[in-house]
Amino acid sequence: MIVSGSPHSAFIDWKRSTLTSLLMACCSVTIASADDEVPKEPSWYDSARQSVSESIDNSASWFDNFFGDPRTGLDDIDKKADATLKVTIKGFYSGVEGESEVDVTASGSVALPRSENRLRLAFTSDADAAITGEEAVDNEPNVSRGFSRDRGGLGLAYLLYENPENLFTLGTGIKGGPEYYANGRHRYTRQLGQTTRLRVTNTLYWITDDGAGASSLLDFEHITQKQTLWRYTLFGNYNETTEGLEWSTQATWLRKLDKKTAISARLGIKGETDKPDAVTETWTTFRYRANFLRPWLFYEIEPGLSWHEKEDFDTEPTLAVRLEVLF
């Protein structure tokens, strides 16, 4: 017979209490182990560093998209299925003889979703610039070749390989009267700091009438403020029809005023190494670009000065006015 409050009863209560404590301890260890398996939130300084590191890419992408910069073409190749068309009506006046004109240009592309969005069908009214990579340079205000049976082109671009630093595409198509072409393009992007980026784009190409060629584009970008981007560009192109190496270089300052307006200023030089005068033109321009009335409608006003070999490098005024429609 067990008497309540006896030592034996106390011993049983102690065992129950101990067993309960052990079970709670085991549960605590299990919960703690489960918590350890959950990824920890990044520390505030890791998040801050990542945010600053991404700022240059976001800013450069905004300027390239807002100004309709062809540099964004490679980025768009792996996006979801879509179709784009850009038509630009432009007038250009220059004191340089034979440079003034009024023209219309167009370019666009369609993603093919059955290829997992790695293949795009693209067309342009200036196939030569698209094939060589010169279209991404935007190196002078009077590049306006317009709609032409001899210059228009239609082609396919395939995204072969991509990672955060490298992007490699292959392309082929038809241009002009007709001519056939093939090209391969590699772009290397390197962050040099929290506000600086280096981007190198190399292109190898072949055109039936012009033969083989190669080009290289270097962009050095630096952000001084969230709304301001500096870009230094160097471009070179060589093939069997050029007079030596065609080259150009320019420095561009871009400033975002608000969501619908931005400005840029640039100074550039171009030339060919085998010409009597290695430098053929120097220019400077100031561009104002605005989105108005509709999200797909833009206009630009770009006054400038040119020093061209045709005018013995005398100072000549230039003025470009553009109306751009995006579909």
When pLDDT is averaged across residues 146-168 and rounded to a whole number, the result is 80
Measured distance CA(130)–CA(138) in Å, rounded? 12
Confidence of residue 31 (pLDDT cuts 50, 70, 90): very low
Do residues 290 and 264 touch, judged by C-beta distance below 8 A? Answer: no
Count of structural domains, the chain: 1
Q: Is the pLDDT of residue 287 over 90?
A: yes
Confidence of residue 255 (pLDDT cuts 50, 70, 90): very high
Measured distance CA(21)–CA(199) in Å, rounded? 63
When pLDDT is averaged across residues 22-36 and rounded to a whole number, the result is 42
Residue 16 lies in a domain: no
Do residues 214 and 186 touch, judged by C-beta distance below 8 A? Answer: no
Q: Is the pTM above the cut of 0.85?
A: no
Residue 17 lies in a domain: no
Query: Could you report the per-residue pLDDT of 221-237, keeping only the tens digit for each?
Result: 999 877 899 999 999 99
Residue 31 lies in a domain: no
Query: Could you report the per-residue pLDDT of 303-316, keeping only the tens digit for each?
Result: 999 999 989 999 99
Q: Residue 161's domain is classified under what CATH number?
A: 2.40.160.40
Find the DSSP H helices in the chain: 7-37, 44-66, 72-76, 127-132
Q: What is the pLDDT of residue 144?
A: 43
Residue 25 lies in a domain: no
Residue 10 lies in a domain: no
When pLDDT is averaged across residues 191-213 and rounded to a whole number, the result is 92
Domain containing 275 equals: 46-326
Residue 195 lies in a domain: yes
Q: What is the pLDDT of residue 188?
A: 96
Residue 189 lies in a domain: yes
Query: Could you report the per-residue pLDDT of 44-66, keeping only the tens digit for each?
Result: 545 554 554 455 556 666 666 66
Residue 89 lies in a domain: yes
